[in-house]
Amino acid sequence: MINEPKIVEITDIIDETPTIKTFKFDWNMKSLGKPNPGEFVMIWNFKNEKPMSIAQINDNELAITVKNIGEFTSQLHDLKIGNQIGVRGSYGNGFNNSFEGKKILAIGGGVGMAPINAIVSDLIKKGNKIDVVAAAVTKNELLYATSLEELGANVHHCTDDGSFGFKGFATDCTRNLLQDSTYDYAFVCGPEIMMKGIFDILEEAGISAQYSLERYMKCAIGICGQCCVDSEGWRICVEGPVFENDKINKITEFGKYRRDASGVKY
């Protein structure tokens, strides 16, 4: 882990969807530390800095997957191979990746598929059998579904508009799967309203899971308190972003509201 930006060169850019790109860059695991799936890095564009989930962890290479949703991400999307960015981290409490030979359910919605890609890729190497619910609004926004199939995951495509795979939400697709299957464990990341619905379904089914949350961050090292959640004072950047279901159950704002840069609920 490094607490000051490491300047890296972008080695590859993949156009994943019309609004999402993956950026790859070299990362010396020996000197900079090897992240665990579910951890995040702070990305600096030499003007501002934002947290980004780690989407891929390869030999001396990391990747982030970025959706173009504002000024900062738009500037990232304008970058080319050979351009530089600043990276510090990795940070946070990542996924538990110690499972071997288990039957796992991984559920990702939208760009939430990025950390799901990292944990599924890791767990497949350890001999786990994994079903993935890959959800998006429409076919053109599905992320990592094909590459995860190539790795050996059983991917259930899910689109809100029915343009590809299951027609409906990730919650609907998960309910269908649980009619005929059960799982040892689950991993979930996506819009929080989706995760709240999945949480209720998995709790009813008695399946333990981990959920990756997102909040507005500034320091990423637990000092500023910007990303605290209301009930327990847990910091998403330190105690999170990944929480197990017993802790999720104590976060009263989960699936209900968040706070902007000034702390106002929305």
CB atoms within 10 A of CB 6: 18
Query: What would the 3-class secondary structure string for the chain be?
Result: CEEEEEEEEEEEEEECCCCEEEEEEECCHHHHCCCCCCCEEEEECCCCEEEEEEEEEECCEEEEEEECCCHHHHHHHCCCCCCEEEEEEEECECCCCCCCCCEEEEEEEHHHHHHHHHHHHHHHCCCCEEEEEEEECCHHHCCCHHHHHHHCCEEEEEECCCCCCEECCHHHHHHHHHHHCCCCEEEEECCHHHHHHHHHHHHHHCCCEEEECCCCCCCCCCCCCCCECCCCCCECCCCCEEEEHHHHCCCCCCCCCCECCCCCEC
Q: Are 142 and 136 in contact (CB under 8 A)?
A: yes
Q: Give the strand pairing for 129-136 and 154-159.
A: parallel
Annotated binding site: 219, 224, 227, 237
Residues placed in the known binding site for [2Fe-2S] cluster: 219, 224, 227, 237
CA distances from 164 to 136, 222, 240 (A): 10, 41, 33
